[in-house]
Amino acid sequence: MDGNNTIWIEKYRPKTLDDVVGQKGIIERLKNYVRSESLPHLLFTGNAGIGKTTSAIALAREFFHDDWQFNFRELNASDERGIDVVRNQIKQFARTAPMGGATFKILFLDEADALTNDAQSALRRTMENYAQTCRFILSCNYSSKIIDPIQSRCAIYRFRPLDREAITEELNRISVNEGLKISEDAMSAIIYVAQGDMRKAINALQGAAIISSEISEEMIYEITSTARPDEILELLHIVLEGDFEASEHRLHELTIKRGIAPNELINQLYRTIINDKTIDRSLKVELISNLGETDFRISEGANQNIQMEALLARCIISADKHKKA
């Protein structure tokens, strides 16, 4: 194994559109552009780690073949958010002629939703002025943060989180190449941790592979600092029973002794509550509202320990109220 010195995300990045997993419908539409030798401006939207950047690079490879690196440029808008990046770097690339007989170049702007409104307005004009020599592919997590004039100039592709089958297929391919053995429980643990994010899945696998070639469920949860689903379910049941001292003790074990981040714990509680069919609907609504309030307060800088204790208290109060109703 070479997990100690190789970043597997880049090592196993798909080279062609056919290699991209989990986005079959989108990939077929992108291949139609290659066959027609034409390309509009594109807007890729969706969560992180689901193939937006990979698809853009693979599309450039399909169009330009060996010359793809000369006619393709990737910029991350979160690095430089202002209007200067549009006026200088983007405009400079867009205005130069393509190489190797290509009729246009591709500029891939990742995290485009980080651009200020002024920068997006300038980008809109650049997209109009240099449409003959440069095609733009914008990638973002939230399309609502992209101004309407840009959205109207792009074909919009909404990438969905990768399903179990897609992640399993890719991890099995990597495990064969790296000489790894992944148990079924470990695979389920990786899928639980990843939540449809291939980048998270590969990072978890590589982290475990550095320790041993036989990947176990316990390794995955430990490496990713994630609580097991049954531990979250146990905490939830203690809370619903109204035992504050026991739930506080369990919370302390997870956040202090195990080092699980409060935001991650909130996310896991949310997933568990959503999927639990035994919880009364009205109680479920209150519990999710409590989670949302705690998540917001922590994101605004409130003390994490106090807010997590307060979350337990609010959830217990909600549970007790529904018992008495």
Q: What's the pLDDT at 10?
A: 83
- Give residue limits of the domains in the chain: 23-158, 164-223, 229-324
Query: In this structure, are residues 68 and 60 in contact, taking their beta carbons and an 8 Å threshold?
Result: yes
Q: What's the pLDDT at 81?
A: 62
Q: What's the pLDDT at 4?
A: 47
**C-beta contacts of 227-232 below 8 A and 24+ residues apart:** 227/254, 227/258, 227/260, 227/265, 227/268, 228/189, 229/192, 229/268, 229/272, 232/265, 232/268, 232/269, 232/271, 232/272
Each residue's pLDDT, cut to its tens digit, for the chain (325 residues) gives: 444 446 888 888 888 898 888 888 999 999 999 999 889 999 999 988 888 999 999 999 998 888 888 889 888 876 666 676 677 778 888 888 888 888 899 999 988 888 888 888 888 888 888 888 899 999 999 889 999 999 999 999 999 999 999 999 999 999 999 999 999 999 999 999 999 999 999 999 999 999 999 999 999 999 998 999 999 999 999 999 999 999 999 999 999 888 899 999 999 999 999 999 899 999 999 999 999 999 999 999 999 999 999 999 999 999 998 887 6
Distance CA 321, CA 228 (A): 29
Q: What secondary structure does DSSP assign to 243-302, as a single string?
A: -HHHHHHHHHIIIIIS---HHHHHHHHHHHHHH-TTS-HHHHHHHHHHHHHHHHHHHTT-
CATH of domain 229-324: 1.20.272.10
- Tell which CATH architecture fits domain 23-158: 3-Layer(aba) Sandwich (3.40)
Q: What secondary structure does DSSP assign to 223-246, as a single string?
A: HTT---HHHHHHHHHHHHTT-HHH
Alpha helices in the chain (DSSP H): 8-11, 24-36, 52-64, 83-85, 91-95, 117-129, 148-151, 164-178, 184-194, 198-211, 217-223, 229-240, 244-252, 262-275, 281-299, 304-324
- Tokens representing residue 228 in the block: 């097991």
Q: Regarding the domain delimited by 164-223, which CATH topology (the fold level of the hierarchy) does it fall under? A: Helicase, Ruva Protein; domain 3 (1.10.8)
Tell me the three state secondary structure of residue 76.
strand
Phi, psi of 262 (to 5 degrees): -55, -40
Distance CA 303, CA 103 (A): 56
Distance CA 189, CA 211 (A): 17
Tell me the three state secondary structure of residue 133.
coil
Residues in the chain: 325
* Contact partners, residue 244, CB within 8 Å, separation at least 6: 312, 313, 316
